[in-house]
Amino acid sequence: TGKEHWPRGEEAVWKSALRDVDADSPAIIKSIVNHVQTSLARQAYNLDDLGAYQAAALSVRDNLLVNWNETQLSYTRKNPKRAYYLSLEFLMGRTLDNALLNLGLKEQYRDSVKKLGFSVEDILDKERDAALGNGGLGRLAACYLDSGASTELPLWGYGLRYKYGIFQQLISPEGNQLEAPDPWLENSNPWELPRLDVNYEIRFYGHADRLGDGKGIWQGGQEVLAVAYDVMIPGYGTKTTNNLRLWESKPKRGFDLNSFNAGNYEAAVASSNSADAITSVLYPNDHTSCMYRIGKELRLKQQYFWTAASLADILRRFKQQGKPIRELPDFVAIQLNDTHPTLAIPELMRILLDEEDLNWEQAWSIVTNVFFYTNHTVLPEALEKWAVPLIEHVLPRHLQIIYDINLFFLQAVERKYPGDRERLARMSLIEEGQPKQVRMANLAVIGSRKVNGVAELHSDLVRTTILKDFVDFEGVSKFSNVTNGITPRRWLDQCNAELSDLITKTLKLEKEVWLKDLFKIKGLLEFTEDAAFRKEWWAIKQRNKERLAHYVQTTLGLTVRTDAMFDVQIKRLHEYKRQTLNILGVIHRYLTLKALSPAERKKTNPRVVFFAGKAAPAYYIAKLTIRLIVNVARIVNADPDTKDYLQVYFLPDYSVSLAEVLIPASDISQHISTAGTEASGTSNMKFCLNGGLLLGTVDGANIEIAEEVGESNVFFFGHLTPAVEDLRYQHLYHPVPLQEKCPALHRVIEQISAGLFNDAEVYEPLLNTIRQNDYYLLSDDFDSYIAALAMVDEAYQDRDEWIKKSIRTTAQMGKFSSDRAILEYAESFWNVEPVTVKKK
Ligand code: T68
């Protein structure tokens, strides 16, 4: 074939790049070719897309490194107060396109790789996602790093370098989710810099002795090495290039020499294997307590390994400045992303008491001025608790410190509320039971300077429900809100380049201006009445639908019709997120269509419904929902009566990269959690920023989106948060048979039970959750959900008005830039200011 001749691309370009440095080929081409030959040790004649991707990535990395060095040098010189974001998850997705955008080198690289015979799209597509996270919490951390660098904040991330990211999701022929490992480092990772010289010894097990005055000593046990890997985080339109430091676990000694000499090789490597295990795999559970049954000890070790290494690194950097330890809060702010890093609180106490020789008051005052805690859920089953015997076994000294913190704390509570035993029991760090457990949220609250929720409603719920006692005790000013945000670079400019260009052209602003001050897109409002503009707007949506259809065609071999409304729900599978409500609504629609005459059907609005998302491997009910969706899709898509009006797809293996294709293609997206259960949601923001309308409950950030874009541009349904408790009480004590309460839902459920979607008996446990106590209130919200879907259909018929809604939505999403959110953290919590790194 033509592709086999040597080299790909323009021979003259290769030849000039292969000649010595004096040759006149452009620097980018030279650098790529140089990496092909040296870093990859490959030759031009057999270079494939993967090799071209790797060489291009290494060449881009060289550029990032210059800025990274410059940034770190200016931090060292200026010694500003720094912020650290501790997160067990960073869901970064792909890097090359983002790095090119932020460096302003996209066009140059496009031209250069073309001259070498490659297409930039093809090589971008060779990159594997860095999927070191489960969902919203991990992706939020990634958006915050992008925004930190883009607003010039001295902000570093600390996490774990998992060898395997979130599992790869496969769907079996029956429709079951299967999990396969995600060996994302297989082809090596050009974006990480191993820092073998940056390492710390981390202790586990052993024994702890008290030495009086709250001090102690921890000895023995097992020591493991934490080794740093750095990932550069470039800012958009700034020289600032921050750092994400990920820790890898390594045995302190490769193997046990005694066993080795005795010829017992298995024993010799056993300790080495157990050290490697710590950072080998990301736990795939979000919001589920399933995880606390299996592999508990390893998860606890992950949390301690990571917080201890991060703190040691932060303190070493602080100490290099020669300041006394009491000044730590003037130079360091640490944000705890959920309770996962809460062990940092007793760990810092341990260092200050046992190693720095401070007294308890001095140490506690430092600790409570350094940490800040973000809560991401009010679901009781998702609040972390660790069994006391387990902590005692793995971290004996920390358990002593936790008990001491608790003692002083409960004494203070007792002084304020003498004799209030119930209150003491509720606020205690220790939950009585068999075994006793440490309540990590309580520890995070009392050890932090500020506590925040992630959307207004959620922060209110935090204050009035799970943390009410703490608000009463400490005062409400410690408990605040920072509504989540998303980076408009990845979630508009990169994923929807055509829309971004149209916005730039229309606003007559440089894109650097509005992508850094997202409130500026409000200027689009005045173009809603411009018919030519609306036409362009709609044509782009259409092309995005075709791009998604192409993806489905090439990955699943299925043909999606692109002249229909695209309706999307993509998120982790969970009962509270109610994918089940959606699929039951789809079945209702299917049954309704079947009952219509062919002529009447023709008048309906064709709809394509997309689902994607992973279920925790042990979350049986969530997996049944996937199975139901897959089987409904199979029946509905094959039914000649309805297939022109309704199609259903479950896209396997949801990822950041898949989201980047799905989100720009959506007309309507669903965010339909039971009111009061979704802390914020962030994909709701991504859809709306891309001109998709929102169908949702009055929950999380949906509420603030409606406030910004106008309630006439969103579709709300369902009961409100204050009603939820009463409804649940009714389900338990005054249940009404489903047939009476919600005949439409009853009919749908009975059809499933009768085998309309294969394997009737398989779905019974799922259907029983609704028939029995229906904790997530599907039967209460079903009718209003169906009514809302009908309103969506009706609104879509008036295409011009729909497009206007779409434009108005995008135009009023300025608030949801993660730049706004990260600056709120910096200004009102951390007291950290931007540091300008000079452009050379
Ligand atoms: C999500 N939480 C919230 N948790 O559900 C979502 N949990 O409403 C919010 O928008 C988002 O956080 C950002 O604030 C999660 O994603 C997890 O992934 C998780 C992982 C491990 C353990 C518990």
Residue 429's pLDDT band (cuts 50, 70, 90): very high
Paired with 90 in beta bridges are 132
Query: What residues flank ligand 1, with Cβ below 6 Å?
Result: 134-137, 140, 285-287, 376-377, 382, 454, 484, 678-682, 700
Q: What is the mean pLDDT of residues 146-150?
A: 98
Structure confidence by residue, pLDDT tens digits, 520-576: 999 999 999 999 999 999 999 999 999 999 999 999 999 999 999 999 999 999 999
Contact of 463 with 470, CB cutoff 8 Å = no
Structure confidence by residue, pLDDT tens digits, 771-806: 999 999 999 999 999 999 999 999 999 999 999 999
Which residue has the least CA distance to atom 19 on ligand 1?
286
Span from the CA of 522 to the centroid of ligand 1 (angstroms): 30
Looking at residue 261, what is its pLDDT?
A: 75
Looking at residue 464, what is its pLDDT?
A: 98
Q: Is residue 294 over pLDDT 60?
A: no
Residue corresponding to tokens 């003491």: 424
The rounded distance, in Å, linking the Cα atoms of 279 and 339 is 19
- At what angle are helices 360-370 and 396-416 packed, to 10 degrees? 90
Span from the CA of 549 to the centroid of ligand 1 (angstroms): 29
Q: What is the mean pLDDT of residues 128-142?
A: 98
Looking at residue 480, what is its pLDDT?
A: 98
Span from the CA of 317 to the centroid of ligand 1 (angstroms): 30
Determine if residue 817 is left, alpha or beta; phi over 0 gives left, psi from -120 to 50 gives alpha, anything else beta: beta
Amino acid, res. 160: L
Q: Which of 639, 582, 643, 584 is nearest to 611 (CA)?
A: 582
Structure confidence by residue, pLDDT tens digits, 321-365: 999 999 999 999 999 999 999 999 999 999 999 999 999 999 999
Q: Is residue 1 over pLDDT 50?
A: no
Structure confidence by residue, pLDDT tens digits, 260-269: 677 777 777 7
Following DSSP, what letter does each residue of 523-587 receive, concatenated?
GGGGGTT-HHHHHHHHHHHHHHHHHHHHHHHHHH-----SSSEEEEEES---GGGTHHHHHHHHH
Residue corresponding to tokens 């066009």: 107
Q: Calculate the average pLDDT of the chain.
A: 95
Residue to mutate (ligand 1; options 137, 285, 705, 825; most atoms within 8 A of CB)? 137
Q: Write the DSSP symbol of residue 690.
A: T
Per-residue burial over 493-524, b if 16 or more Cβ lie within 10 Å, else e, is: bbbbeebbebbbebbebebeebbbebebbbeb
The rounded distance, in Å, linking the Cα atoms of 618 and 97 is 35
The rounded distance, in Å, linking the Cα atoms of 770 and 749 is 9
Which residue has the least CA distance to atom 23 on ligand 1?
286
Structure confidence by residue, pLDDT tens digits, 579-605: 999 999 999 999 999 999 999 999 999
Q: Which of 362, 135, 95, 338 is nearest to 234 (CA)?
A: 95
Task: Specify the ligand 1 atom closest to the Cα of 701.
Answer: 10
Q: Which residues are catalytic?
A: 376, 571-572, 577, 682, 686
Q: Is residue 816 over pLDDT 50?
A: yes
Looking at residue 518, what is its pLDDT?
A: 98
Residue to mutate (ligand 1; options 287, 440, 487; most atoms within 8 A of CB)? 287
**Global ipTM:** 0.99
Task: Specify the ligand 1 atom closest to the Cα of 454.
Answer: 14
Span from the CA of 526 to the centroid of ligand 1 (angstroms): 37
The rounded distance, in Å, linking the Cα atoms of 220 and 208 is 9
Looking at residue 4, what is its pLDDT?
A: 58
pTM for the full model? 0.97
Sign (positive/negative) of CA torsion 25, 30, 33, 38?
A: positive
Q: Write the DSSP symbol of residue 377.
A: -
Residue to mutate (ligand 1; options 288, 377, 452, 816; most atoms within 8 A of CB)? 377
Residue 25's pLDDT band (cuts 50, 70, 90): low
Residue 291's pLDDT band (cuts 50, 70, 90): very low
Give me the domains of the chain, ranges plus CATH numbers. 1-78+95-124 (no CATH), 79-94+129-382+447-482 (3.40.50.2000), 554-817 (3.40.50.2000)
Residues 6+ apart with CB under 8 A from 88: 159, 160, 302, 303, 306, 337, 338, 340, 341
Cα 703 to chain centroid distance, Å, stands at 20
Residues 6+ apart with CB under 8 A from 596: 604
Q: Is residue 255 over pLDDT 80?
A: no
Please tell me whether residue 368 adopts helix, strand or coil conformation: helix
Looking at residue 14, what is its pLDDT?
A: 85
Q: Decide: residue 733, CB within 10 A, 0-12 exposed, 13-18 middle, 19+ buried.
A: exposed
Contact of 349 with 311, CB cutoff 8 Å = no
Q: Which of 224, 240, 315 is nearest to 274 (CA)?
A: 224
Span from the CA of 375 to the centroid of ligand 1 (angstroms): 9
Residue 274's pLDDT band (cuts 50, 70, 90): confident
Structure confidence by residue, pLDDT tens digits, 729-755: 999 999 999 999 999 999 999 999 999
Q: Is residue 199 over pLDDT 70?
A: yes
Span from the CA of 136 to the centroid of ligand 1 (angstroms): 5
Structure confidence by residue, pLDDT tens digits, 55-92: 999 999 999 999 999 999 999 999 999 999 999 999 99
Residue 290's pLDDT band (cuts 50, 70, 90): very low
Which residue has the least CA distance to atom 10 on ligand 1?
681
- At what angle are helices 49-78 and 27-37 packed, to 10 degrees? 110
